[in-house]
Amino acid sequence: MKFIAHRGFSRRFAGNSLPAFQAVIDHPCNGRSLIGIELDIHLCKDERIPVMHETTVPGYKGEKVPVAQCTF
């Protein structure tokens, strides 16, 4: 069976983080069955690209602000 890891090894590490990606690559059960890692990216208004699952971030007053309206 082949698989693609969604957000890396996110049960053990923060999803979409370098440790989560490395852990899924290094996991001894993978062998040659890992064929890729799926990650979530967004584009900020300053054209930088954060890797994160959520499409919004908390604003100063608790409101949800779209990542596309934020600077990195």
6 pLDDT higher than 90? no
3-state secondary structure (DSSP) of residue 72: coil
Tokens coding 53: 């699952």
3-state secondary structure (DSSP) of residue 3: strand
For residues 34 and 4, membership in a common domain is answered with yes
DSSP string, 6-37: ESSSTTTS-TTSHHHHHHHHH-TTTTT-EEEE
3-state secondary structure (DSSP) of residue 69: helix
Over residues 31-53, mean pLDDT: 90
Average pLDDT, the chain: 90
For residues 27 and 56, membership in a common domain is answered with no
13 pLDDT higher than 80? yes
For residues 29 and 62, membership in a common domain is answered with no
For residues 25 and 1, membership in a common domain is answered with yes
Q: Which tens digits make up the pLDDT trace of 28-37?
A: 877 778 888 8
Note down the domain range covering 72.
40-72
